[in-house]
Chains A and B, each alone.
Chain A
Amino acid sequence: MSSRGKIPHWADVTLVPLFSVALAFALSAVLIWAIGESPWQAVKLMVEGAFGSSYGWGYTLFYATNFIFTGLAVSVAFQARLFNIGGEGQALLGGLGVALICLYIPWPHWSVALIAASLGAALFGAAWAIIPGYLQAKRGSHIVITTIMFNFIAASLLGYILVNVLRVPGSQDPASPRFPSEVALPKLHEMLALVGIPFSTVPPVNIALLIAIGMCFMVWYMLWRTRLGYQIRAFGESEPAAQYAGISPARITIYVMLISGGLAGLMAVNAVMGEQQRLVMNAVEGAGFIGIAVALMGRNHPFGVFLAAILFGFLYQGGAELALWMSIPRELIVVIQALVILFTGALDNMVRMPIARVFARRKRAG
């Protein structure tokens, strides 16, 4: 008799996130009003800043690309009920892979470099994720603890390599040299120009967006159309049932962490190869953690991750505009982003239960 709290699937994936975001925005509006600014003005600025021009769109999509990769990474792991919160570190290592490939191998053309750099990014990210994966599978060390600690190790490792190995001699800046211009990825405006659509040349959005969209499809296919995906989902839904079916928990844990780490690492193709064109200390800028919120909001489904990534891209870009044009401190924008994460991620049931009640009532009436 556990029919209480049950709502149709479509409502669970649409109404619940929408109401959660609406609540987060409502609370944000109150905050903005409380510091004496106009919430209406703020909303207008954010929406116009993020979607009002091809310039805004460009940045929104650039950020979204990062979040798609890290969001997919968290989602895949969560399908096996593994909470990989090491996306940050895995993406940093992915950046290292990209940098090594771009700096030390002379590439004739960006397309070949892109393939190699993608493989390198995925490989380095996966290698960084497999250590916690192995420790969980064989030693029972909890993956939440190990992955978060590996974020710190990754940051320190990267700091060491940037300062001692990759730094430009004589420079004070812990960053790698600039990548050769042959490996510069085509920007979105260049690609759109081919079909005659004008687009702002400023934003760093680039071909990695297409890779991200491709990855959404591939992750979906892997999860719902292959045997590996079947085993991952069965393991995630019920470990005893998976064991009964002869699915090895250790093997699935390691596979899943490989895929998850690889996806997180791919983020570096967008951020390091596509935008910065060199490796810097904070190449990932917290996208690894935003990926957790994106996955939660996207209900761990690749399509949901895509939509949630766009929303967070909007928050990032719109938030930057807000800080620029209104006297709203940068910190408050972080608060707004945090509220969205809080409401969509943690306070899910607060929204779901009233919706469930409405559905129950409607059903009884109808």
Chain B
Amino acid sequence: MVLNDSQMRQETAASDLAIELRGISKAFGPVQANKDISIRVRRGTIHGIVGENGAGKSTLMSILFGFYRADSGEIFINGKPTEIPDSESAIRAGIGMVFQHFKLVENFTVLENVILGAEDSGLLRPSLARARGLLKDLAREFELNVDPDALIEDLSVGHQQRVEILKALYREADILILDEPTGVLTPSEADHLFRILKGLKEQGKTIILITHKLREIMDVTDEVSVMRRGEMVATRVTAETSPTELAELMVGRKVLLRVEKPPAQPGAEVLRVESLRHVDSQGVERLRGISFGIRKGEILGIAGVSGNGQSELLEVLAGLREAEGKVLLDNEALPLSGAGCDGQARRARRIAHVPEDRQRRGLVMNFHAWENIALGYHHDPRYNPSPWRMNNAAILRDTTGKMEAFDVRPPDPQLKASGFSGGNQQKLVLAREIEYEPDLLLVGQPTRGVDIGAIEFIHQRLIRLRDAGAAVLLVSVELDEILALSDRIIVMFDGRIMGERMPDETNAQELGLMMAGMA
């Protein structure tokens, strides 16, 4: 076969590419998740992929890992055209994937998980021995140390993630894809992960890092590709770009990465919490004596790695869990158990709640937008002209107004909650809770899974509510968010308050140490 000149050039260029995708398209029904995507990932580099939720990052990686088949386009692995009809072929082609939600068997040991599905024979002993040796080498080389005999359920999230990486390496992956790997990690665990990734890169492995955190992109990647609405809009050398440019590329317009916030004008104390204790249904003590207060016109941020009691604190205050201790709202006790301790009673005391898990708690996914606007407010006399009739038309009218005020798109009150994007679902919940004009707003993870454009909007709304004189209790695992919004910060670790800081007198490092229980 005779190659012409341009083909020759392409071949040489292709030889240092670990992955090349050409013209990948994939549609789900009417939704074009990936549109004619081409990307080249050089061998031995860390390549970031950023984009808003729903930009098509996960679809693209799922195609690469054989979960979906592209409608059209070609995949080249190490310069060779490769068909990837299933994940087995992806693994054979040297691709390993670390999912956002780990795929581990909780009651298996680390070793058992590592060999699961890659056993050499019907007997486990030889595979386990081989894996044990390999794990020892990898631990030495890359700081990938985990106890091979520990059960997964006993490991921290950071260690579980290492097991996922070990699984991929055991299968001799040359190309490692990580999907939002730091979402569940503390800052120091994230740093450790990045050291591991850099070590792997030096060994010649290729790493694709999917994230929406621009700081991580700037810190560890060599090159970065930006996706927007199913299209690949740009690829940049990381050293030659900036977070601002990347954010603009992602959203397609200029965005404020940090909202403007006038100084707080705190008033009288609204909420007083004294030695609050909570034991969950498993008998684990989640809150071990929490005391704090919030004043009018103030945003109190609660920082902490998820699972250290913040969620429980929020739900106790919202009346969804029973607890012991004392909580005063405007100097009047809030019942912490029995009658008067439920969502309805809390709303009657003008406490509104934006729950952490909007899809499970905050919304009924199968209800129309207008039905969701009544959720929790279904006793409102405006919606109930008589006990025998709910005025659906009034709710519908109200919904139209709230959707407009909060720029929910599409502004269709008849659309089911599941039909909105994450950001718009969250705006729906916020519209319902903020328009109630509460004295105290409890907010959990207001921008989890929300795209950058919507984050800006949501932050502005929370600040506006504060400036209108409400108290806001903000629980977030995103340190950037806590730092950007809070007027005061308390850090929780293992059900206790580790300390209180003012946002302009602290930094992510200090808070990170406190979150890890080390200060």
Q: Which residues of A contact B (CB under 8 A)?
A: 1, 3-4, 6, 224-227, 229-231, 233-234, 237-238, 240-248, 360, 363-364
Contacts and interface: CB of A to CB of B under 8 A. Distances in A.
A224 B393 CA distance: 12
A364 B342 CA distance: 47
A240 B30 CA distance: 32
A231 B390 CA distance: 11
B378 A227 contact: yes
A237 B364 contact: yes
Contacts, number: 90
Interface string B214-249: 000000000000000000000000000000000000
Given A241-B364, A363-B30, A230 B374 contact: yes
A240 B376 contact: no
Nearest to B387: A227
A227 B389 CA distance: 7
Contact of B320 (A230, A238, A244): A244
B151 to A, nearest CB: 29
B388 A226 contact: yes
Contacts of A230: 371, 374, 378, 390
Contacts of B365: 237-238
30 contacts: A1-B59, A1-B68, A3-B29, A224-B392, A225-B389, A225-B390, A227-B378, A227-B384, A227-B387, A227-B390, A230-B371, A230-B374, A233-B367, A234-B378, A237-B366, A238-B361, A238-B366, A240-B360, A240-B361, A241-B360, A241-B361, A243-B320, A243-B343, A245-B375, A245-B378, A246-B343, A246-B344, A246-B347, A247-B343, A360-B29
Contacts of B362: 241, 244
A1 B28 contact: yes
Residue of A237, A238, A241, A247 ringed by the most chain B CB atoms within 10 A: A241
Nearest to B346: A246
Given A225-B392, A238-B364, A3 B375 contact: no
Majority secondary structure, B binding face:
loop
Contacts of B27: 364
Given A240-B357, A240-B361, A245-B344, 5 more contacts: A4-B28, A224-B392, A226-B390, A243-B342, A247-B343
B378 A231 contact: yes
A354 B65 CA distance: 26
Nearest to B26: A1
Contacts of B44: none
A238 B470 CA distance: 30
A6 B28 CA distance: 11
Q: Lowest 4 CB-CB distances: which A-B pairs, in order?
A: A246-B344, A246-B343, A245-B376, A3-B28
A230 B33 CA distance: 35
Nearest to A363: B29
B353 interface: yes
Interface string B12-31: 00000000000000011111
A246 B29 contact: no
B319 interface: yes
A6 B29 CA distance: 9
B254 interface: no
B419 to A, nearest CB: 11
Given A230-B378, A234-B375, A246 B363 contact: no
Contacts of A246: 319, 342-347, 376
Interface in B345-385: 345-347, 353, 355, 357, 360-367, 371, 374-376, 378-379, 383-384
Contacts of A247: 343-344
Contacts of B355: 244
Contacts of B388: 226
A243 B388 CA distance: 23
Contact of A227 (B33, B319, B347, B379): B379
B60 to A, nearest CB: 11
A234 B363 CA distance: 9
A1 B26 CA distance: 11
Contacts of A229: 390
A237 B387 CA distance: 22
A234 B360 CA distance: 12
A160 B267 CA distance: 72
B432 to A, nearest CB: 10
Nearest to A356: B29
A238 B62 CA distance: 30
Nearest to B360: A240
A225 B374 CA distance: 13
A248 B375 contact: no
